[in-house]
Chains A and B, each alone.
Chain A
């Protein structure tokens, strides 16, 4: 990612900020400015809860450039509880523990870094919902 390109998307990456269509009420992520359901302009920000479940997942053993030091890692399509689907890595989980339908929650982690000297990109990943031991 370029410096400015990363910066432009910080609200999406840090907070899962999408949009709500004022006309039909559709909740949209990633933001696209035009409602995919009714084609009306949709630019009103809407922050998603970050809760969802795994729609599908895979483990990447042969990563693209920039992700070599992270492999193997698990990526997933996550269906957010508000409806939209997100492509993201899963974290804090062993690949063999993942299954379709598993409840997950958004966390903010390092997504990539431009070598040792460049900018660090932070963004959303998902992890299994933290188990509560009491209360």
Chain B
């Protein structure tokens, strides 16, 4: 792995604004177990977020983007030259989520807009592209958003965790940033651990095959590749955030890579909001930024089935302190919770046949 070349833009790029969104409703994992396993068995998390009837990836992405803009301050909307939304639950199969978001935040018409799909790493894929777009000098600002209202087959293992949420990042010049991108590295192979064919309501997955050859292999190689090339070690990072499909996987991968539970705790939200798919690691990063201090280093590693990981190294700047409270913190959204039962969940996810 010593031959790895990390990704670095021509000019320094950073996060000018960030924002999160988590819906209000929570489905306790025990409620899934009550309906589908007679209450037996261990549950992978405590509860997951569930979108309201009037929420989807567009509305979630939009609120996260508005929070990012609030933190960014007085950004000229015409200078936002890309609005990219990664998700596996775009409301339209054909018709971009991103044009709606771009229009609503006033970034139209002189902008790129596109939807990204790479399972749970669609958001960081867009993030990487935005870094490149700004770093090349083609754009002053670019939006990368991960948002999902993840589907799961009722009763499946994923039914306990498939959640909804979003995180948005406005990338821009490093000297305007609250956190600077030090370097990144992506690691991708053709590994079919999880997929959804066209026109299918629910995804399929490879069971235990999603673990070692997929999640662990890609995250470990992306993280090691980046750190070796940069010459950094786990103890150089104040925080680390890993894709979090459940509580066990990120804890295990952190341990294998040499990170302590304290380093990953602030960004480990899955126990309380579930797996927000394309937003999963990105929303973890928002929670970390909510409490990071200038100078802190953060390692972010996503994972998307199919499969790949983006590893990104960031350093927090002095600007964080004045921008943080211009928008609700991720914890504000997590604290806003209304538990619902499985029947209500089924209604809000439109699982009842109405026609």
Residues of A within 8 A of B (CB): 10, 14-15, 69-70, 89, 91-92, 94, 107-111, 116, 120, 122, 125, 130-135
Majority SS at the chain A contact face: mixed
Is there contact, CB below 8 Å, between A131 and B100? no
Instruction: State whether B59 touches A92 (Cβ < 8 A).
Output: no
Known: A132-B329, A135-B324. A91 touches B335 (CB 8 A): no
Are A122 and B58 touching (Cβ within 8 A)?
Answer: yes
Name, among A14, A15, A70, A111, the residue most crowded by chain B CB atoms within 10 Å (CB to CB).
A14
What chain A residues lie within 8 Å of B194 (beta carbons)?
none
- Chain A residues positioned under 8 Å from B91 (CB to CB): 120
CB neighbours (8 Å) of B156 from chain A are none
3 tightest A-B CB contacts, nearest first? A14-B104, A109-B54, A135-B325
Check if B328 is an interface residue, CB within 8 A of chain A: yes
B residues 55-94 with Cβ under 8 Å of A?
A: 55-56, 58-59, 62-63, 91-92
Contact with A108, one of B62, B328, B336 (Cβ below 8 angstroms): B62
Q: A70-B54, A108-B63 are in contact. Are A132 and B332 (CB under 8 A)?
A: yes
* In the complex, chain B residues 284-343 whose Cβ is within 8 Å of any chain A Cβ: 324-325, 328-329, 331-333, 335-336, 338
The answer for the CA separation of A70 and B103 in the assembled complex, in Å, is 26
Nearest opposing residue in chain B for A132, CB measure: B332
Residues of B within 8 A of A116 (CB): 355
The CA of A134 and the CA of B53, in the complex, are separated in Å by 29
In the bound complex, CA of A69 to CA of B336 (Å):
24
Residues of A within 8 A of B106 (CB): 15
